[in-house]
Chains A and B, each alone.
Chain A
Amino acid sequence: MIAGVPTEFTPPGPDSFDLPPIIDGVDWFTKPVLVSALTVVVIVWFYWAASRKSAIVPSRLQFAGELGYNFVRNSMARDAIGSAEYMKYVPYLCGLFYFILLNNVAATIPLVQFPTFSHIGWAYVAAIMTWVIYNAVGIKKHGLWGYFKHQTMPPGVPGWLLPLMIPIEFISNILVRPISLSLRLFANMFAGHILLLVFVLGGEYLVFETGNIALAGVGVVTWLMGLAIAGLELFVQCIQAYIFVVLTAQYIGSAIAEDH
């Protein structure tokens, strides 16, 4: 937009998420790719450094690492999967949680400010991994036929209801779960980012493009509102990472649960 010339306000849309590649000519290397690679480096470094010199009296770093690990292990994995078999899944859940958390929170960090998971492909991959894992462990535990019986026939349902229950349970437990898991994460990040864009770009338009002092005042209020929305978004980003991993643990737990 050229300053001084009143221009039409173009609201942000899905096009705002198509970022140019960082290096010209390398089309796949965009900001989300860089950010997610950096978060992997940070997570690996943090847990490596925290566990390198483990001692009975922990250093500060080790204490922080144990705090982060214990949070996933105790409040997500053990509660949802059960104390008999949960340790197998803790590495996946822990890695997944901190990967999603850091990628989400990156949307609030200045200069990054782009949620990786607002591109749906990332969310699809995370959800498909979860889907493959919980189905695989369920089939391994109950056998193929036993697993489908376990997932589609809730105990205590009268026989004449089964023709109705089996399709519903199959759709909700096998087909819809990965879709809802990925859509929830994607849409929260997408909607949050677009909301921020609306407030910030709208404020910018009102302050600089309209040339009207009253509207400029409104624009400043819009920016303050955007700041408040950013705070809300930080909360939503943490909650979404938590929900994704808690549901993953829940799905694994329900897949390997014994029939009652």
Chain B
Amino acid sequence: MTALDITGNIAVLGYGLAAIGPGVGVGLIFAAVINGTARQPEAQSKLQSIAWIGFGVTEVLAIIGIALAFVFRS
């Protein structure tokens, strides 16, 4: 049995770690939207448009992570 040879770049692992936070954040945003819609169905469209902005702002953290993963690739 030979040792498993893993090649590749550790920056990708860093990106995986960096994506945890935004993942939780995006989940929280949509959990709040679902809650709000369940309590007040007529507010759905308003909540959704706010949620997409929040989603965009939160998601950019993961996006910066993927950009940095490529920057620090070498």
Contacts and interface: CB of A to CB of B under 8 A. Distances in A.
Contact of B63 (A75, A187, A239, A246): A187
11 contacts: A14-B70, A180-B60, A180-B63, A180-B64, A184-B59, A187-B67, A188-B63, A191-B66, A243-B52, A246-B49, A247-B56
A183 B52 contact: no
Contacts of B66: 187, 190-191
A189 to B, nearest CB: 11
Interface residues of B, number: 12
Determine chain B's interface SS by DSSP, over half rule: helix
Nearest to B59: A184
Given A242-B52, A246-B52, A183 B63 contact: yes
Nearest to A75: B49
A170 B34 CA distance: 34
A108 interface: no
Nearest to B46: A79
A210 interface: no
For this complex, into which size category does the number of interface residues on chain A fall?
10 to 19
Nearest to A79: B49
A239 B52 contact: yes
B60 A184 contact: yes
B1 interface: no
Contacts of A14: 70
B55 interface: yes
B53 interface: yes
Interface string A114-128: 000000000000000
Contact of B55 (A75, A180, A190, A243): A243
A184 B55 contact: no
B63 A184 contact: yes
